[in-house]
Amino acid sequence: MAVKTGLIIIKSEHETNLTLEREIRIYYYLIGQPCPFGDVAWRLYDTYGLPVDLTQLMSEEKGLSFDMAVYEEPKKSRRSACYPVAAV
């Protein structure tokens, strides 16, 4: 039983690493696109689940500016679309 559990954990770690590698490749592709960087960060989070703090850290390492306000705009739009306020 312990061997099976260990294999499941190893497989899960491997899949997580593959997902993270894919997200990082997408990040490097998107930073070459002509759009506000906060929008890129939102798309990475919303579509692929890449945490914004990791995106921000990778951007700072590349010397790119990161505008959190631009990130927050589509986030608020998505939230209001998913959770509309009940009419009174």
pLDDT, one tens digit for every residue, the chain (88 residues): 667 887 888 888 888 888 888 878 887 777 776 566 677 788 888 888 888 888 888 888 888 777 788 888 888 887 777 777 644 4
- What would the two tokens of residue 68 be? 């959190």
The pLDDT value recorded for residue 88 is 45
Rounded to 5 degrees, φ, ψ at 72 are -70, -30
Q: Is residue 38 within 8 Å of 73, Cβ to Cβ? A: yes
The pLDDT value recorded for residue 1 is 63
Q: What is the pTM of this model?
A: 0.59
The pLDDT value recorded for residue 87 is 42
In a domain, 88, yes or no: no
In a domain, 39, yes or no: yes
In a domain, 87, yes or no: no
Tokens 């506000």 belong to residue: 36
CA dihedral sign, ordered 61, 62, 65, 71: negative
Query: How many structural domains does the chain have?
Result: 1
Q: Which H helix or E strand runs over 82? A: helix 68-82
The residue segments making up the domain with residue 40 are 2-82
Nearest alpha-carbon partner for 54 in 76, 23, 16: 23
CA distances from 48 to 4, 25, 67 (A): 29, 11, 20
The pLDDT value recorded for residue 41 is 82
